[in-house]
Chain A
Amino acid sequence: MKLEKIIKDLNLRIISAGSDDIEIINGNIGDLLSEVMRTAKPDSVWITYQTHQNIIAVAEVVGIKAIIIPCGLHYSEDTAEKACEHGIYLLESDESAFAVSGKLYGLIS
């Protein structure tokens, strides 16, 4: 599934963008960083409430391509900066994590 289509279908706001034409094959939800590193697959989308800049490093080491924050919440500025630096997509949604993950699952699987 193309990330572009996910962004469009889920009506996500792009806070920071990476390279074009990204293929997403999996997803993960979690706020415990170690748990995410343990369970997330490469080329994933990650839904989390964490907004500090460490999520970029986690995404980077695991191979997560895009992060979604649900419920109309926002990332901190330095997180966005760091995301740009590493080419990780930061996305915001007004919907709940439950709704976002449900739609994502429907799209990807």
Chain B
Amino acid sequence: MQNDVEKLVEMLSKVFSNTKIKEIMTRPPIVVTQETKIKYVKDIMRIKGISGMPVIAPGFKLVGIISIEDIIRVFENGSFDDRVNKWMTPDPVYLKEDEMLLHFLQVNEDLKYGRYPVVNNDHKVVGVVTKLDILSWMFKKLGYIYVHDERREKALNKKYMSTITGELLDKEGVDFSYKIDYDSVEMIGAAATRLKKFLKEKKIQEDIIRKISIATYEAEANVVIHSSSTGNVYCWIKQDHIKVLIEDFGKGIEDLEQAMKEGFTTAPDNIKEKGFGAGMGLPNMKRFSDRMTIVSSIGKGVKVEILYYIKEK
């Protein structure tokens, strides 16, 4: 448990310190020029619901910042027909878009401003970052990490949360399960053909059986050829849909987007000679399913979930 916590902290700090300002900032920024009248600035702030804006010179060069505090000063001592350059804070503290989030946290530690203009290498204003931006970004990240962790926990407890429908599937109460514990390519198809037989017994429609069998065959082939681990095939038959889960515990898929491309393969030649490794496995699974999701990360295996809708005849 202690080890898990340490891992989580390490992971989180990596996430935070490796994030660049430009991934968090609001863009495009809402900006005003020095010549803008304060009464228009006030209107922009009210309409856009913001409390400050970078002030720019031609070419989006950062020259100052104007905030609601400045507007209050105008209200007390000036005229709303005054122009921005009279009331803005010149040469404000800014961040560069390629700086890390950690840098922002350090800067903010000392200064405690509400917002910082973000500039690119040409000193052009490209965004604004506020504490709210950071906070909402963090919540999003943490939410994601939490969900991911929760899902793993469920899987360990013999439960699987569907990545398609979100329902909790009980691996103990599964309708069909088959262990892929062979590593010879000759055995590929053992799971798929058994599942087909099972679905036939259950009197499922022929066209659905065919699609399930083909998709399962492809997934099974991937487990045997690529995972270097064992795997499981589960099938749940529900009132209006059938769900198949093919999981392995192997090395995982490095680049899912690439793996989904037709013709992309990492299969060795001796496998290709047997007619595998055409780079059509994942595309075929997608083609022969109504919905499909893959969850994978390096070293954590692959989970392919495929869903079929049973239509009333």
Residues in A lying within 8 Å of B, measured CB to CB:
31-35, 37-38, 42, 48, 50, 52-58, 60-63, 78, 86
Contact = CB atoms under 8 A, between A and B. Distances in A.
Contacts of A56: 189
B214 A62 contact: yes
Nearest to A40: B214
Contacts of A58: 189, 217
A38 B287 contact: yes
Interface in B272-313: 274-276, 278-281, 284, 287-288
B185 A54 contact: yes
Interface in B207-234: 210, 213-214, 216-218, 221
30 contacts: A31-B275, A32-B275, A32-B278, A32-B280, A33-B221, A33-B274, A33-B275, A33-B276, A33-B278, A34-B276, A34-B278, A37-B284, A37-B288, A38-B287, A52-B186, A54-B185, A54-B188, A54-B275, A57-B190, A57-B193, A57-B217, A58-B217, A60-B193, A60-B213, A61-B196, A61-B210, A61-B213, A61-B216, A62-B210, A62-B213
A71 B237 CA distance: 45
B217 A61 contact: yes
Contacts of A32: 275, 278, 280
The 6 closest A-B pairs by CB, nearest first: A57-B189, A34-B280, A61-B213, A32-B278, A33-B275, A34-B278
Contacts of A37: 214, 217-218, 280, 284, 288
B213 A38 contact: no
Residue of A33, A35, A55, A78 most packed against chain B (CB within 10 A):
A33
A89 B221 CA distance: 23
A16 to B, nearest CB: 16
B254 to A, nearest CB: 20
Contact of B186 (A33, A35, A78): A78
B192 interface: yes
Contacts of A53: 186
Residue of B196, B210, B217 most packed against chain A (CB within 10 A):
B217
B142 to A, nearest CB: 40
Nearest to B275: A33
A57 B275 contact: no
Residue of B190, B192, B275 most packed against chain A (CB within 10 A):
B275
Nearest to B210: A63
Contacts of B280: 32, 34-35, 37-38
B20 to A, nearest CB: 40
A57 B284 contact: no
A57 B278 contact: no
A12 to B, nearest CB: 22
Given A57-B217, A63-B210, A35 B189 contact: no
Contacts of A35: 278, 280
